[in-house]
Chains A and B, each alone.
Chain A
Amino acid sequence: MTHQQQTQEHQILEERIKHSLDTSAQHLDANTKRRLQEIRRQALNQPRNASWFKTSYWAPAGLALCSLFVVMLTLPYLHKAPTAPVADQTAMLELMSNPDDLDALSDPGFYVWMDEVEKEKDAANAA
């Protein structure tokens, strides 16, 4: 038997099977038909899930929540981080702009004192 003949034979068999199955479904007994109608009615009366519950809505909602979480985590650091260097720079500017303190800048003892203050600061930070 050639491949074409075999394919043709399969098609005929499939058609006959389909026809036989269709007939059996069309000729269900009255009892079964009635039960199926009842089942359908009962199913249609069931409460349905609201459309907002659909999966497609969870993706944007999840993304928004994640963004909010990230912002909440990073916000305190954004405010705190520049505080210390800015304060140091301001103090330095004040020191240099005051004419009385210019004398102090030319005194070597001032630098020894500054060095000690810095060392104390480092020791406090390390602790």
Chain B
Amino acid sequence: MKRRSRFVFSVLVFGYAFLYIPLVSVIFYSFNDSKLATVWGGFSTRWYGELFRNEQILDATILSIRVAATSATLATIFGTMAGLALVRFGRFRGRMLFSGMITAPLVMPEVITGLSLLLLFVTLQQVFGWPAQRGFSTITIAHTTFSMAYVAVIVQSRLSAMDQSLEEAAMDLGCRPARVVVDITLPLIAPAMVAGWLLAFTLSLDDLVIASFVSGPGSNTLPMYIFSKVKLGVTPDINALASLFILIVSITLLSAWFVIKKQERNS
């Protein structure tokens, strides 16, 4: 019963083309044999090979993955707690402030978050002596802070949609409130928590500005490395890196989607 006009359909096509042409172009040029990244010199996979021999990239990648995994896990824990508190605990003291602090990081420009956290770390160092060296821990703290906002939003949305009588039924049958969360709530919001973790992981892996502010000498994340290279212009090895990234993300997301669709069709 729902129909689309031709106008809407053409905008849809244009929109998706707009979104995907740059990605396709990068993949295309990653196989370019020429050092001049956008002038076609023949088909080659040499840039992919060079990627794996580049120590700096490998180190940066490892650091980025460590930070992303740690901050995603912390963000999921804190974000779920925050989501639970905001949806299930009714009015509590300081709720407005809490709610504001949870949603503000979603929109705050990164330069502000980055700057503010760096100044915090510097001040902390002056007063407490920690952190002496900025690096893994400071970047992880920063990423956890803004990622938990995203997890909280996702968890809140799933919790609001959940039938609250399930939790009441558990209590009615003799389950203490704290245990209800473990028995009933968490299993049912688990998909949201997983989605939150993945989102936090991606956001962390992707962050450039905040990491630039709060990292220290010797701790380069992957985006920081990429940025330092692309400042000078388009380079072929970054083309290869970008293509790898695009392919990995696309394949992962699409297969996840297929799996979910198949599950839905079976039940």
Is B truly associated with A?
A: no
A residues in contact (CB < 8 Å) with B? none
